[in-house]
Each structure stands twice: as C-alpha cells, then as structure tokens.
C-alpha cells in the first residue's frame, strides 16, 4: 500500500494507492504526521483499510499530490555521502559526515512549483536515500537504532546500492524537498 496525501495546498486529505487506484482514507481521521507514526499509525491504518476496503472512495487520478508526510519536525541531510558523488563534484570524500538541515517548509508535492532563491546560481535536486524516523529518539545506541526507523528508500541512481530494511516501511521517492519528482508515495507491506 502506498500512502499519499492529496488535494488543495494546505487542505490535503489522506489516502493510499492499491493496484494503481488511489483511495481516500479521510474517514480514518488522522494525517500522516509525527503523531500518526509515533502511535502505531501504520498498523491502525492497515486495520482501518481492511475493515473499510469495500467502501473507501476512489480519488481522481488528476488530483494534486502533496508530500506523503505532513510537516515533519526536521529534515536532516547528509552531503557527499557517496564517493562517486564527491568525485563528480571534484570534492574530497569527507572524513566526517556533512550534515545540514532543510526547512520543513521546503517540503512540497511532486509537481508543485518550487521557489528558487533570487541569487541562486545552481539548484540541485539529488537525493539518494530517505529514512523516516517514526519514534522520538536521542542518543540512541547502535543495538536499538533500527527500532526507531519506520522505513527507508533508495532513490535515484542509488537503487542498486541500498537495500530496503526488512519489515520496515519503504518510502518511494520522498525527494519532494523543493524539487519536482514524478512518484511521491509511502509504501509499506
């Protein structure tokens, strides 16, 4: 099931895609946000869909899609995380991760217009990996770190490099952080 959010900007409804058909899950009564993820929302949504699958409204294929996650608390980015990317930008591979934040207001739908800063000389859209953290966490030890990950996806050219985490939500093309993409959904089994 691919999770979607759709509709007029600021008034998005929730839904999912099954067999290329989009269904409305507004009757579930929750947006796909931090509270949803932190409170077993995926399991509860799956139970709701199973119980109501024959009566869920079909969503028009031409509707505007938004980011499948409603305003996360933060977007943490890692720069030059692949040796080939460092090489193609003529940069040395960093000895430590290059970590930076994107504003959550940068999140947009796959076909939404983007705002490019006035003095920008280059707009880069590349993302190789998205990880969705579904539980609040601080100073997590290595033994329990994956307990906090709801899901991941390998995006763009990295599909052959990164494997989805078993039993976790797979995020398909969550690279809607102020750049256009064609497929913008969450997927989970």
In this structure, what token pair is assigned to residue 46? 């799956």
Q: What is the pLDDT of residues 75-104, one digit of tens each?
A: 888 777 667 777 877 888 777 778 888 888
Task: Give dist(CA 75, CA 17) in Å, integer.
Answer: 25
pLDDT by 10s per residue, the chain, length 189 = 678 899 998 899 999 988 889 999 999 999 998 889 888 888 899 999 999 999 999 999 999 998 888 888 888 887 776 677 778 778 887 777 788 888 888 778 878 887 777 888 877 666 666 677 777 778 888 788 777 776 655 544 333 334 445 544 444 333 333 323 334 443 333
Q: Which burial class, exposed, middle or buried, applies to 58 when counting CB atoms under 10 A from its CB (0-12, 13-18, 19+)?
A: exposed
In this structure, what token pair is assigned to residue 18? 């099954």
Q: What is the pLDDT of residues 37-58, one digit of tens each?
A: 888 888 899 999 999 999 999 9
pTM across the whole model: 0.70
Domains of the chain plus CATH, in order, are 75-182 (3.90.850.10)
Q: Please report the pLDDT score of residue 182 as a whole number.
A: 33
Task: Give dist(CA 112, CA 182) in Å, integer.
Answer: 11
Q: Please report the pLDDT score of residue 61 as a whole number.
A: 92
Instruction: Specify the length of the chain in residues.
Output: 189
- Going by C-alpha positions, the residue among 130, 123, 122, 114 that lies closest to residue 164 is 130
**CB-side neighbour CA atoms (13 Å) of 167:** 3
Q: Please report the pLDDT score of residue 59 as a whole number.
A: 97
E strands of 10-58, at which residues?
A: 13-18, 21-24
Output Rg (C-alpha) for the chain, integer angstroms: 17
- Going by C-alpha positions, the residue among 72, 99, 53 that lies closest to residue 186 is 72
């Amino acid at each position: 099931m691919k999770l979607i959010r759709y509709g007029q900007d600021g008034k998005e409804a929730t839904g999912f895609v099954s067999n290329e058909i989009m269904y409305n899950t507004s009757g579930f009564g929750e947006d796909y946000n931090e509270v949803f993820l932190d409170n077993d929302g995926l399991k509860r949504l799956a139970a709701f869909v199973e119980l109501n699958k024959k009566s869920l409204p079909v969503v028009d294929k031409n509707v505007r899609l938004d980011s499948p996650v409603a305003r996360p608390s933060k977007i943490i980015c890692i720069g030059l995380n692949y040796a080939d990317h460092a090489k193609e930008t003529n940069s040395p591979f960093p000895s430590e991760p290059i970590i930076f934040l994107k504003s959550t207001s940068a999140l947009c739908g796959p076909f939404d217009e983007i705002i490019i800063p006035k003095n920008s000389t280059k707009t880069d859209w590349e993302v190789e990996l998205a990880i969705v953290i579904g539980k609040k966490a601080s100073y997590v030890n290595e033994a329990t770190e994956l307990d906090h990950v709801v899901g991941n996806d390998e995006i763009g050219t990295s599909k052959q490099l990164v494997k989805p985490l078993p039993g976790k939500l797979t995020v398909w093309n969550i690279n809607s952080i102020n750049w256009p993409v064609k497929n913008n959904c969450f997927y989970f089994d």
